[in-house]
Amino acid sequence: MTEYDYWKIFPRMPKKVTIGDITVRDGFQHEEKFVSTAAKIYYLEELIFAGCRNIEVTNLGNPASMPQFRDAEELLTHLRSDSFRKRCAARGINYADICLTAITIRESAVDRAIKLKEQGIGPDRLLMMVSTEEQHHFANSGCTLPEYWKEAERSIRKCTAAGMKMCGTVSTIWGSPIGGATELRDAVEFARRWLEIGASDIEHADHDGSASAPDVYRYFSMILDAIPDTSLHIAHFHETKRVASASVLATLQAGITHFEATLGGLGGQPANFLDDCPVKGTGEYYYKDPRFVGLVTLEDTLVQIDEMGITHGWDVDRVLTLGRQLEKTFGRKLRSEAIINGRTQKEGHPEYARPGLAKAKQANDESSDQKFPAHWAAQAVLPEKYRS
């Protein structure tokens, strides 16, 4: 007989997951307008109040290249303030459970994070990134892979000594927008290397939507065979073909328990134009249409996981409200479908019922729960030609 129990078919699939948010960092960096500091603070707070405990706050790189992060210290100062801690406590949130992450692609940004830590406003966790395809890596970092690995090793020693964690990101796992096809086994080795030099966890990133569900399942199965501790692994998917929900499902089936997303599916390559001024960013865009660039949406991913019966710790309705508010912030329709249609309502929508059914059942001498004619057998008899 066919096995119908989903968790028996995929025994590694978790019953509980962690979903981190990276809207204010990865999401807003892609926008060609400066999002006000007040708006950033609002969304950071509301995401935490809605259940987020792993949140990317900002990028500590040089604001001359990415001025959208010029308010980095102001955001961190607010989130470290006594007033915000008290607001968390008033909502029953244990402030110690919140992990604030800042991106520090280069060593100079790590040094800046350490200074902020000494001032009492530093992040809990930093992030550096390598791409398995060197052209993509060079475009993002400006240095070769061997050169960067040495810098990352020094940086991890520094941040560990300062009391911060370092996440190591592996990118271009399923392909590079510059160099094309890549090898999954290279990414597995890169993940091992991050842990070897002291990283606290690994973000496994599909930064351009190259991933397909079979290869996602294959890769994360390879990862858990090589590095079985699920707490070390974070899945990061971009959405360019509207198929990333299949990648999320394949990742769950493989056994991964930690994901990242953004409100509205925002995100992507840092903008090279901000408000009325060209800026450096990371150079020329490697996409043709910004409407089809971004991460998996937090709203849709939460609804997907919630309706699978997997525990996640978020207030889904509050997140859907935030998604609708974010569309007002940007003045355009974003990529979430769930903020329009919401969750599947188990109780249905009785207000749409056509009146008169009860009377029709009574007139036909049918019971209220009767679905077939009374003279039919209790079970259908399948014609011989259709039987297995």
253-278, pLDDT tens digit by residue? 999 999 999 999 999 889 999 999 99
The chain-wide mean pLDDT, for the chain, equals 95
Using alpha carbons only, give the angle 290, 24, 224 rounded to the nearest 5 degrees: 85
pLDDT of residue 184: 98
Which tokens belong to 222? 């390879």
At residue 346, the pLDDT reads 83
Domain boundaries defined on the chain = 14-341
Residue 22 — pLDDT band, cuts 50, 70, 90?
very high
Cβ count within 10 A of residue 87: 15
144 neighbors 78 (Cβ within 8 angstroms) = no
Length of the chain: 388
The whole-number pLDDT of residue 388 equals 82
Task: Give the pLDDT confidence score for residue 210 in this predicted structure.
Answer: 87
User: Is the pLDDT assigned to residue 41 strictly greater than 80?
Assistant: yes
pLDDT greater than 80 at residue 309: yes
Q: How far apart are CA 30 and CA 119, in angstroms?
A: 29
HEC sequence for 64-125: CCCHHHCCHHHHHHHHCCHHHHHHHHHCCCCHHHCEEEEECCCHHHHHHHHHHHHCCCCCCE
**What CA–CA distance (Å, rounded) separates 294 from 90?**
34
Distances (CA, A) of 33 to 192, 239, 273, 374: 38, 21, 8, 66
Q: 240 pLDDT exceeds 90?
A: no
pLDDT of residue 209: 86
Residues 178 and 191: their CA atoms lie apart, in Å, by 21
Q: How far apart are CA 148 and CA 67, in angstroms?
A: 24
Which pLDDT belongs to residue 293? 87
- pTM for this prediction: 0.94
Q: How confident is the model at residue 285 (pLDDT cuts 50, 70, 90)?
A: confident
Query: What pLDDT score was predicted for residue 367?
Result: 96
Q: Name the percent of the chain lying above pLDDT 90.
A: 88
**At residue 286, what are phi and psi to the nearest 5 degrees?**
-105, 30
Write the pLDDT tens digit of every residue in 170-224.
Answer: 999 999 988 999 999 999 999 999 999 999 999 999 988 889 999 999 999 999 9
102, 56 Cβ separation under 8 angstroms = yes
Q: CATH code for 14-341?
A: 3.20.20.70
The whole-number pLDDT of residue 284 equals: 86
Q: Where are the alpha helices (DSSP H) in 227-370?
A: 244-254, 298-307, 316-330, 338-341, 357-363
Tokens standing for residue 202: 């690994």
Q: Which residues share a beta bridge with 299?
A: none
Give the DSSP letter string of 223-264: HHHHS--GGGEEEEEB-SSS-HHHHHHHHHHHT--EEEEBGG
